[in-house]
Amino acid sequence: MLKRFNILFSMFVLVLLFGCSNPNSSSEEENYENTESKEKVELTVSAAASLQDALTEIKENYEKKHTNIDLTFNFGSSGALKQQIEQGAPVDLFFSAAEDKFDELVQKDEIDTNQGVDLVGNELVLIVPKDSENTIADFTDLTTQADKLAMGTPESVPAGKYAKQTLENLKLWDSLHNKVVYAKDVRQVLSYVETGNVNAGIVYKTDALISDKVKIVATADKSTHDPIIYPVGVIKDTKHSEEATEFYEYLQGKEALDLLKQYGFTAK
């Protein structure tokens, strides 16, 4: 009888101990399982080539905190990216280097105005190879000191459009347009200058800052070209609206904006 009582008492104590164990354990386990079982989502962001380095670092930071998100970037000229979206390319967000390309998608109902914002700005600069012996020190020197000048194709590359505007406003275009070597985006312009295939190039300040093979010799006055603004927005046809909106909002937060500033972009 006593033995039976001891067994029953021991079982009772065990039940009490189990019942008094960490009350949060089940909820913590449930939260962990929810996090682990969250569906993996791949977000595709079409972004201007000049954003490549900044967004690559933003991707690393974001994916560490959002383990279910894979960010995939499609970098290129804003004009080419806009055309791809118009033709039905599977894109979740568009980060443009020009307002007009972005606004065209808004007008065509590809982007909701409530999910689009002017995020950052940039500057236009004249660069030459770092070890160059030429005496180019300003845009006006291009007429006598340069045989080849690289810039983006104005019709599709915003930086090329701004460069042409600057040269026209400085009354230099007529004497320089025959010397121009056109590129598909600003990174190709940068490459042409780095390799010495041209005497000079016109790019965004952010592109010049990432290269140790070029030097900035002049900055275009803001009055010589349209404002350089980078809008970003969520594509209406995205299949991942919640996740796309979350990343869109993250880009507007302090962490992302501070990083963009580190790469030379200016806050709007």
- Does residue 217 share a domain with residue 250? no
Q: What are phi and psi of 266, to 5 degrees?
A: -105, 145
Distance CA 149, CA 183 (A): 10
Span 185-215, pLDDT tens digits: 999 999 999 999 999 999 999 999 999 999 9
Token pair 């007429």: residue: 143
User: Which tokens in the block code for residue 237?
Assistant: 């046809």
State how far the alpha carbon of 136 is from the alpha carbons of 51, 170, 174, 200, 248, in Å. 27, 16, 19, 8, 41
Domain assignment present for 30: no
Residue 144 lies in a domain: yes
**Residue 245, domain extent:** 41-121+228-267
Known binding positions: 50, 78, 159, 186, 204
| pLDDT, tens digit only, all 268 positions of the chain | 444 444 444 544 444 444 444 444 444 344 334 435 578 999 999 999 999 999 999 999 999 999 999 999 999 999 999 999 999 999 999 999 999 999 999 999 999 999 999 999 999 999 999 998 889 999 999 999 999 999 999 999 999 999 999 999 999 999 999 999 999 999 999 999 999 999 999 999 999 999 999 999 999 999 999 999 999 999 999 999 999 999 999 999 999 999 999 999 998 7
Q: Tell me if residue 266 falls in helix, strand or coil.
A: strand
Task: Please report, for the domain that includes residue 259, its CATH number.
Answer: 3.40.190.10
> Cα dihedral sign for 143, 146, 148, 152?
negative
Q: Tell me the three state secondary structure of residue 133.
A: coil
Q: Which residues are annotated as part of the binding site for molybdate? A: 50, 78, 159, 186, 204
On whether both 219 and 133 belong to a single domain, the answer is yes
Whether residue 138 is found in the same domain as residue 164:
yes
Helix axes 241-251, 254-262, angle to 10 degrees: 60
In a domain, 91, yes or no: yes
Token reading at 148: 């080849």
Q: How many structural domains are present in the chain?
A: 2
The per-residue pLDDT for range 21-38, each reduced to its tens digit, is 444 444 434 433 443 557
Verdict on whether the full-model pTM lies above 0.75: yes
d(CA 256, CA 249): 10
Please report which helix (H) or strand (E) contains residue 62, including its range.
helix 52-65
